[in-house]
Structure 1
Amino acid sequence: MAFWKVCFLMWQLIGLGLATDGPAPPFELREFEELRQASCPYLYQEYGNSCYRVFTNQKTQNEAEADCGLEERPSGQGHLVSILSQQENEFVTDLWYSTNPPNTGDTAWIGLSDTNGSDNIGFIWSDGNFRFYTNWVESQPIKDKKCAFLRGGFWTTEYCERKMPYICKVPL
């Protein structure tokens, strides 16, 4: 949609639009709604078909997952970040370090956990994606630590009750 259309629609939406007896605009308000739905929520960064945001407030992994779930889009609900490729891992790592303020540590929850209690299934992503790609630190995961976090671009495990910053991912 052209820039002028977006401006015109914004103008109409805040009440400064065309008089009711003027000509109809050459497009539908539906186009504006489609544009709004196809963009990332405020403070989220777009990458591929998803939107990402770093939260520096500290929560347990379950609390962080619930917080990410508050962001709902027409295309789906938010979750702790699932990392499905090396390129996405690099993007998430860069996002973490570019938005992480000093003194908040160098770790952030990701949406990978083994909280189902079954060693047969192993670690799964909270958003239901399959785990084809992994980037574990050597000697990880540790069997009794069931939740994963990002540190220096690699994944490691921790007790799920530990509080740390987190990264959310929402489908675009």
Structure 2
Amino acid sequence: MVEVSESERRQALAEEFSRLEESAMYSAQNQFEQAKQWRGINLMLGLPASVLAAVSGATALASTAGRFWAGLLALGAAAFGAVLTTVNASHRTNQASSAANAYLEIQTAARQARLLDLPVTDLDEMRAALAEITARRDEQNKTAEPPNRWARRRAQKNITTGGQTYEVDSTGKRA
């Protein structure tokens, strides 16, 4: 058995907490971008459905001559409504937002464990904390919908342009 010093174990734990933190950061941003897409789809389908339904109702009530157009508009509204129901964009928006926030919680827990607890806490306790945070991340990975390519690109851009950097981290200031 290879003997590993306490310092080496702490360093290995710090690196693993950093990996968890980074993984959660990317996953959170992916899910936030996915939520934005679903919100847009919900509006793109819901708004025309509502407008067409309102116009068709007004047309039908305004005159008997406009019944053909009212019927056509009502069919258009129904088509948009059917697609909106099938796609279920509002539910998917909520799912992606919830997943993103869960990943942010994991990211915060990993960062706090690495920066605050690891330097002063028993190694066995820290190993248990790592296992618990890893299990949370793994469970979240099982339930979160995979983001599409566009969401991943936008998330990458958000991260590389500093969208996930706290001012205290970017300036090097410590309280």
TM-score class, shorter: under 0.3
Higher helix content, 1 or 2: 2
Question: How does the TM-score come out when normalised to structure 2?
Answer: 0.26
Could you tell me the TM-score, scaled by structure 1's length?
A: 0.26
Greater relative contact order (Cα < 8 A, sep 6+): 2
Greater fraction of residues in strand: 1
